[in-house]
Chain A
Amino acid sequence: MNRLSSAFGKPRPALVCFLTAGDGDTAANLDALVEGGADVIELGMPFTDPMADGPAIQNANIRALGKGTTTADVFAIASAFRARHPDVPLVLMGYANPMVRRGPEWFADQCRAAGVDGVICVDIPPEEDEALGPALRAAGIAPIRLATPTTDEKRLPQVIAGSEGFLYYVSVAGITGKQQAAQGSIEDAVAILKSATDLPVAVGFGVRTPEQAGAIARVADSVVVGSALVELVGEHGADAPRHVRELTASLADAVHSAAKGAA
């Protein structure tokens, strides 16, 4: 059983936590996520043009690139994390261009060597899967697809068909950050997704508080939190790990204590 399926195979919902690689003391902050109880780590690859991200993650990208963070640095962070945490699933999230720059096979090989379990690429929809998907699958890395409020039922099978690891439901038509989806709309969407796939469904975008996370965890397999954590890194600098650990712990409490399928 691979790391992702173990994390999602537990009887309780899973918490996925996002941070941007190269922003702040990334290693210490990633450790804080694990200590706080995160089940899956989503590590953002910084990009100059993060089109799907709101101000919090845009700024994290700028901070990381401003410090000179390279693709090699991202993989070094991932490798070191894997050495420290052999069992915690790690997925990379980012945009197509840095991923395909040296060729998809190169990227997939680097992922495998660094112990990365899956890849979320924002701007490669199923229609362009060949740009990266086959290389990832050949290397045993899960291509994790996104479903959104605009993904209609006709289109959904195509999205699911190439997806591995888990299905990421983007709960708002919009960018990452503060805009929140109504709980009712999330429940409806997750029900449709669950009836269409056996993949675990993780819900993200606009999830900031333990209350929200707990409510979503009652209907979904997993909850993703990003911007709220990234803001702590931007705000607290060297002191960030403590804050990151605290927020993660309260999120994890809320998510883990929600009984799956209770709603």
Chain B
Amino acid sequence: MNDPLPNSFRQMPDSRGHFGEFGGRYVAETLMPLVLDLEREYRAAQADPAFKAQFDDLLEHYVGRPSPLYFAERLTEAVGGAQIWFKRDELNHTGAHKINNCIGQILLAIRMGKTRIIAETGAGQHGVATATVCARFGLPCVVFMGAEDVRRQSPNVFRMKLLGAEVRPVTSGRGTLKDAMNEALRDWVANVADTFYIIGTAAGPHPYPELVRDFQSVIGKEARQQMQDRIGRLPDLLVAAIGGGSNALGLFHPFLDDADVRMLGVEAAGHGLDGNEHAASLLGGFPGVLHGNRTYLLQDEDGQITEGHSISAGLDYPGIGPEHAWLKDTGRVEYTAVTDEEALEAFQLLCRTEGIIPALEPSHAIAAVAKRAKEMDKDSVILANLCGRGDKDIFTVAERLGVEI
């Protein structure tokens, strides 16, 4: 066995699933044997060339990878400063990066002989991606979704139903994403023998944060090669939006040991970090334990979890993947936050300058890119992950802009 590389940021987690003091397996005993099974099966899959071959084949022919690397010339001009490039993961089948992970997890589920799939969803993107792979592989699918989100995201609810999934509205708690995750965990604990839980972000008990990151790392691996091919060097700055953090880790992870590449994760500041109406777990939260891992959480002084707020339903989760918590504390990745207003402006800016309607999640990244690009010279290169398309968000945007459609 090779010794771990000194000074590498790509060796985590440790054998117990810890990223420094974060991560781990904080689950009820009933789930613990399942989580250990999953880890064993994931290790076997990693060592199996047939698994990788099937994953790669589906990504190429079903998802449509590699996604393009695109130089946003007019946006660069409009902002003034560094060159702005996008990794176009919004062009994937189902319109977001979420599908990369779902392909990987359903292949694991099939390897493990599981016959029923469950998932949680907030905005509905992960739910749609899960329903999609379940239809593709003919497995029954139950998606837990907060009742409030079911109401706000009715087009995605209909998509999931078209794909044959059962959408179960969750009324417990406050009916949002974290409650949907609680309900999915309750279902899983009651159906341990046949059910596989496809978690949508790089969070939850080990090995989920690791395997979701690995499946999403196709984004960064492609981008690294594409950058070399197109401009003969790596970008100076990577930028990605962060809810749970899977699209950001997917982009960042293959670059973590490139010391000259800086990285910026963008959380949702909602109405501002000074109040409680935000979803910035890293910048406005404290370490704690929820949903199987130790990480930064929005919580009060007694450890009760508070609700996140963001214009983007995909970002308003009160936690964050544990690897981000570790990358923040080590200083390898810088984190910032962008308000609803700023994201909305960036959304419109990209529509008008590039003819791309982005999702509200990457609109947060775009807002941060616009700020940073101005401070950098024209030879510098910023690469941002355009992790989702905005079709699902046009109703929210119209409402915020006071337009009736």
Q: Which A residues lie at the B interface, using CB under 8 A?
A: 47-52, 54-55, 58, 62, 65, 70-71, 95-101, 122-125, 127-128, 131, 145-152, 155, 159, 170, 172-175, 179
Instruction: Indicate whether A97 sits within 8 Å of B290 (C-beta atoms), given known contacts A48-B304, A127-B25.
Output: yes
Q: Classify the interface of chain A: helix, strand, loop or mixed.
A: loop
- A175 engages B289 (CB within 8 Å): no
Ordered by A's residue number, 20 sampled pairs between the chains whose C-beta atoms are within 8 Å are A47-B304, A48-B304, A49-B182, A51-B28, A52-B28, A65-B304, A96-B26, A97-B288, A100-B303, A122-B28, A123-B26, A124-B289, A125-B32, A127-B24, A131-B24, A131-B289, A148-B30, A170-B29, A174-B30, A175-B189
Residue contact B24 to A150, C-beta cutoff 8 Å: no
Residues from chain A with Cβ under 8 Å of B31 in the complex: 150
CB-contact partner of A173 in B190, B291, B306, under 8 A:
B190
Interface residues on B, range: 35 or more
- Is the pair B289, A51 in contact by a Cβ cutoff of 8 Å? no
Known: A97-B303, A125-B27. A152 touches B16 (CB 8 A): no
| B residues 1-40 touching A (CB-CB < 8 Å) | 16, 24-34
Contact of B305 with A49 in the complex, beta carbons under 8 Å:
yes
Hey, which chain B residues are within 8 Å of A49, CB to CB? 173, 178-179, 182, 290-291, 305
The CA of A51 and the CA of B24, in the complex, are separated in Å by 17
Within 8 A of A (CB), among B27-62: 27-34
Tell which of B146-154, B158-166, B267-275, B294-302 binds the partner: B294-302
Contact across chains for A146 and B304 when beta carbons are under 8 A apart: no
Q: Are B33 and A52 in contact (CB under 8 A)?
A: no
Query: Is A170 a contact partner of B30 (Cβ separation < 8 A)?
Result: yes
Is B185 in the interface zone, CB < 8 Å from A?
A: yes
Inter-chain contact B190/A175, CB cutoff 8 Å: yes
Query: Counting chain B CB atoms within 10 Å of each CB, which of A98, A101, A124, A174 scores highest?
Result: A101
CB within 8 Å of A: which residues of B? 16, 24-34, 172-173, 178-179, 182, 185-186, 189-190, 192, 288-292, 294, 297, 299, 301-306
For B185, list chain A residues within 8 Å (CB). 51
Contact between B192 and A101, CB atoms less than 8 A apart: no
B26 neighbours in A (Cβ, 8 Å): 96, 123-125, 128, 131
CB distance from A125 to the nearest CB of B (A): 5
CA gap between A49 and B318 in the complex, in Å: 12
Task: Give Cα A250–Cα B128 distance, bound, in whole angstroms.
Answer: 50
* Contact call A98/B303, Cβ cutoff below 8 A: yes
Q: Which residues of A contact B303 (CB under 8 A)?
A: 47, 71, 97-101
Contact A100 B302 (CB under 8 A): no
Given the interface pairs A48-B173, A175-B190, the reply to whether A128 lies near B24 with Cβ below 8 Å is yes
Given that A49-B182, A100-B289 are known contacts, is A70 also in contact with B302, CB under 8 Å in the complex?
Answer: yes
Compute how far the CA of A51 lies from the CA of B204 in the bound complex, rounded to whole angstroms: 13
Say whether B302 contacts A146, CB under 8 Å.
no
Least CB distance from A96 to B in Å reads 4
Instruction: Indicate if the CB atoms of B182 and A175 lie closer than 8 Å.
Output: no
Residues from chain B with a CB closer than 8 A to the CB of A145 are: 29
Is A150's CB under 8 angstroms from B30's CB?
yes
Q: Residues of B contacting A51 with CB < 8 Å? A: 28, 182, 185-186, 291
Query: In angstroms, how far is the closest chain B Cβ from the Cβ of A168?
Result: 9
- Within the complex, the shortest CB–CB distance from A164 to chain B, in Å, comes to 16
Partner of B30, one of A101, A124, A173: A173
Give the residues in chain B near A174, CB-CB below 8 Å. Answer: 30, 186, 189-190
Residues from chain B with Cβ under 8 Å of A123 in the complex: 26-28, 289, 292
Contact of A150 among B192, B289, B299 (CB under 8 A): B192
| Contact, CB under 8 Å: A127 / B16 | yes
Residue of B nearest to A98 (CB): B303
